[in-house]
Amino acid sequence: MHVVEDDDAVRLLICEVLAYLSYCVLEAEDADAAVRTLPAAGKIDLMVSDIGLLGMNGRQLADVARQNRADLPVLFITGYAENAATKGNLPED
């Protein structure tokens, strides 16, 4: 699992829950940090990303990540779902 979340408390909670469930977790505080870890990371079963990251948003991050990992599933999370949906940040699929 690769967790990308700019809110430290939210990222910590997600990572703790996933680790408790026996998942190996990589974490990044923003999209740039996530992009830097992707080439060296082994198999990633799922990327969990905040859609509303500052700078490169979660959807843009998913596009970049899929350039080298075409089949990477991405779960978008946010505390502001209505804004994310109406601003076109969420893909239709």
Q: What pLDDT score does 59 carry?
A: 92
pTM: 0.83
Tens of pLDDT, residue by residue, the chain (93 residues): 999 999 999 999 999 999 999 999 999 999 999 999 888 778 899 999 999 898 999 999 999 999 988 899 999 998 865 555 555 555 555
Task: Report whether 78 contacts 50 (CB < 8 A).
Answer: yes
Q: Within 10 A of 72 (CB to CB), how many other CB atoms are there?
A: 16
User: Which amino acid does the sequence have at 77?
Assistant: I
Sign of the alpha-carbon dihedral angle for 46, 43, 39, 5: positive
Q: What pLDDT score does 74 carry?
A: 95
CATH number, span 2-80: 3.40.50.2300
Return the bridge partners of 54, or none.
none
For the chain, give every domain's residue range.
2-80
Pairwise CA distance, residues 3 & 55, whole Å? 17
Q: What pLDDT score does 88 carry?
A: 54
Task: Report whether 49 contacts 76 (CB < 8 A).
Answer: yes
Q: What pLDDT score does 41 carry?
A: 79
